[in-house]
Structure 1
Amino acid sequence: MDSKQLPQNFQGFSSESAYLLNDNELTLKRSRKEASKKRKFCVLVACVIQLVVCGGTGYGLSVMYAEIIIVFNTERADAALIQSFNMGMAAASGIMFTWMIKKFGPGVCITIGASVSAIGLFASAFADNLVTITVCTGVITGTAMGICQLCAYLTVTWTFHHNPGLFLVILTFGMSFGQLIGPNMYELFISNYAWSGAFILLAAVSLQLIPFGLVIHLSRYYFVRTSDMSIQEKQRSCCDISLFIDVVIWVLWINFLLLALTGNVEPWFIVDHMISLGFSRKDGAFTSSAIGIGNFIGKLIGAFIKFRCRQVATVYHWIYLGVLMAGLHMIIISLDQLIALFLFCLLFGCIFGLIFSQAPVVMFEASGLDRYPQACAMMNVMFGIGDVFGPLLGGYIKDITGVYNIAFFIASGASVYISVSSVCGVYYSRKRHM
């Protein structure tokens, strides 16, 4: 059928009976209805839960990191590989499974990802060396969680296709909840069941993603994956290389890389940093949870800003947020009191949560609905590369110098760059549309 024969209500699918162009066959497939508000709410909650579990597992490894150093008597740089691979693969591996998500749907892929994640964590409980834990928890579990994370982002975009910006910000609340719950969950599990028992319980937590994946799977007929394009445009979009020659897109991708590489230096190392200052691991886990609380508050602020400033490009906010992040990375070096560190982590979590909540929205505004799956996957690749090398770099700095100060200095400089490059991104974007 020629594109001119498509019904006028094709764009947006706002009517009771609209048509969907099949991605593989490029034919009109079946009539659909707009999802009800209750269904959209359930889908949004299911997607948030994906990030709660994935984020909690990854950020909570900062507590396991401190325990593994003692149990296996290993170097910090080696122990940091577990968290770096887990968070790195969780962010970057999704691009390898984009085809699978499109073919089988996000619900099925979440079920597979949750099951494989649980297997990796369960196997880690019986490891007798650091390499096995790194492979099982770092690589296998991290890769599986990467599927679940990307499924969550794409599901929200396809469900709230008219204007997904606000709902993408709300989705990132899951990471805040995970960062709040994760460290305390690890501390509770390790204290009562040792490190090996903790891995078994974490495997059970991963399996809780499956019923939420089922909710998403049952809502698959309401997804809208593309805007109103001609057949020729859809054919070109299958091999669209415009993302890789877009200056603005590359400015954003590099910013995402630096944000992941250095922005998480406090969540990664706050527990070990506090232990080196004479505090207990429990104090470190408690203080680390303040980042999660602040993260949640920051994302609430991000949702409010997006709601009230709908006509303002989100990347504008990164200009001043980068400067604030740079200042906070410098302040932590001078703090040595528990209350001061707690309040710092609370404030840091607010700023980091605010800037992180805007990342998927910034990417969507720059790429658009049709290019967003590939753009989002590449955004996660950049996050993944940063998450892999960030903990490794920080652990190496600690092993060499005995403190994390240089890591905090590097993070401060990277935040300044993010602010300056955001100005450049705005300039190129405005120039392109003149």
Structure 2
Amino acid sequence: MPETNARLSFTQLLICGATIVTLSMGIRHGFGLWLQPLTQAHGWTRQSFGLAIAIQNLSWGVSGIFAGMLADRFGAFRVILMGTLAYCLGLMGMAYADTPLVFFITTGVLIGVAQAGTTYAVVYGVIGRNVPADKRSWAMGITAAAGSFGQFLMVPTEGFLISHFGWQQALVLLGFAALLIAPLAWGLREPGFAGKAVLPRQQSIVQAMREALRYRSFQWLTAGYFVCGFQVVFIAVHMPSYLKDKGLSPEVASYALALIGLFNVFGTYAAGVLGQNIAKRKLLAFIYLARAAAISLFLLAPLSPVSVYVFASVMGLLWLSTVPVTNSMVAQIFGVAHLSMLSGMVFFSHQIGSFLGAWLGGYLYDKTGSYDMVWYIAIALGVAAALINLPIKEAAIARTAQPQPA
């Protein structure tokens, strides 16, 4: 917790935090638009591109835990600055990588590290420490909605940049755009993190990790988040190519991804509000089950631009609505002292799912010439996630007194 009782201005916190997430998430949501132009230019397979995005998501998940530790200890400001620099360098590297290995390092590892330092876990840690518990889920919903607006804003912008400047120059321009995150990070400087000292905590990092990993409800929550990652990354990365394979124009995919972002603005905000008033475990179960139903109906209906736009709108309402609910539940159960780190741990599971969604989509397509099998897996996982969220206990965990860490 910050050393003083001073808190960031509520308006400043939401504006800066939401805008940072808008830029960071908005850029990464459009990566699927580069799958075909980039692989065709280099003569690479879709599996190679999918593997790079899979590595990116795994890198994001692993480094997110450590980014959360640093943000909890030294404040979000420094972590976001490092993430901003990594984002710029990663996008430049993605543009000029000439071998799969370099592509995996820049697009995969470096951008993954960048996203860990500039997205939800770090920003939500600041929100958790500075927003009262009765408004926390709502505030996280606003921030997640901003990330969705970033998708609505940035995906068509990225499509425009590719069509007018070429895929390579478009990535260079995005690299410079990522640097805009740096001045916004100044607005998240917390008074208690001006130096290295913080108030003593009830638990050390190791104690907090051990407690969470042994807690059954944390395990269920983490398993459910795996499914979220699998579904959204598979759709974001592979749906543009899936639609093109079916004979639809690239503009349909761009508009569909934009619609997902637009409707997710409403979906994530609604989830944040509902999370304040109803059981979060039931809300999560509904979201996962509704995703499975939406995908099933999409596959059963005749494919057309209209059916794609309806599917994108429905999925948009459900897209990142799990994010504020999941993170506010972590704060509700374990408190906010180690919130960024614990959110990073849950998110690591999400990113393992993202890894599989990105890579498996490309792998099974290359093996079978179709994405059908991956769609069916996404449906089954949605049903499973709905069931495993129901037994979660949301009440604050009861702790025995522990020696305070040095």
What TM-score do you get using the length of structure 2 for normalisation?
A: 0.88
Matches within 5 A, 1:327-406: 327-334=293-300, 335-406=302-373
Number of the residue aligned with 1:6: none
Say which SS state the counterpart of residue 425 (structure 1) adopts. Answer: coil
State the Cα distance separating 1:196 from its structure 2 match: 1.2
The one-letter amino acid paired with 1:67 is P
Q: 2:128 touches 2:331 (CA, 8 Å); kept in 1?
A: no
Seq. identity, %: 16
Partners of 1:399 and 1:235 in 2: CA distance: 48
Partners of 2:396 and 2:85 in 1: CA distance: 46
Partners of 1:354 and 1:99 in 2: CA distance: 25
State the Cα distance separating 1:362 from its structure 2 match: 2.5
Which of 193, 204, 223 matches 2:165? 193
Taking a change above 3 Å as real, the CA distance of residues 412 and 128 of structure 1, as seen in their structure-2 partners, is same
- Larger Rg belongs to: 1
Partners of 1:367 and 1:61 in 2: CA distance: 34
Number of the residue aligned with 1:285: 254
State the Cα distance separating 1:32 from its structure 2 match: 4.1
Q: 2:291 touches 2:379 (CA, 8 Å); kept in 1?
A: yes
Partners of 2:133 and 2:75 in 1: CA distance: 20
Number of the residue aligned with 2:184: 212
The one-letter amino acid paired with 1:250 is Q
Partners of 1:92 and 1:54 in 2: CA distance: 18
Number of the residue aligned with 2:281: 315
Aligned residues: 394
Q: 1:318 touches 1:419 (CA, 8 Å); kept in 2?
A: yes
Number of the residue aligned with 2:403: none
What TM-score do you get using the length of structure 1 for normalisation?
A: 0.83
Structure 1 portions without partners, runs of 5+:
1-19, 23-30
Number of the residue aligned with 1:166: 138
The one-letter amino acid paired with 2:321 is L
Partners of 2:341 and 2:81 in 1: CA distance: 22
Q: 1:65 touches 1:83 (CA, 8 Å); kept in 2?
A: no
**Please, which moves more after superposition, 296-305 or 57-66?**
296-305
The one-letter amino acid paired with 1:397 is L
The one-letter amino acid paired with 1:313 is A
Partners of 2:169 and 2:246 in 1: CA distance: 28
The yes-or-no answer on 1:419 pairing with 2:390 is no
Partners of 1:300 and 1:429 in 2: CA distance: 23
Partners of 2:64 and 2:247 in 1: CA distance: 40
The one-letter amino acid paired with 2:248 is F
Matches within 5 A, 1:109-188: 109-149=79-119, 150-163=121-134, 164-188=136-160
State the Cα distance separating 1:398 from its structure 2 match: 1.3
Which of 206, 230, 239 matches 2:207? 239
Taking a change above 3 Å as real, the CA distance of residues 249 and 235 of structure 1, as seen in their structure-2 partners, is closer
Partners of 1:102 and 1:239 in 2: CA distance: 15
Q: 1:64 touches 1:195 (CA, 8 Å); kept in 2?
A: yes
Number of the residue aligned with 1:33: 6
Root-mean-square deviation (CA, aligned residues, Å) is 2.8
Number of the residue aligned with 1:76: 46
Q: 2:2 touches 2:191 (CA, 8 Å); kept in 1?
A: no
Q: 1:64 touches 1:186 (CA, 8 Å); kept in 2?
A: no
Number of the residue aligned with 2:22: 52
**Please, which moves more after superposition, 48-57 or 410-419?**
48-57
Taking a change above 3 Å as real, the CA distance of residues 211 and 431 of structure 1, as seen in their structure-2 partners, is closer
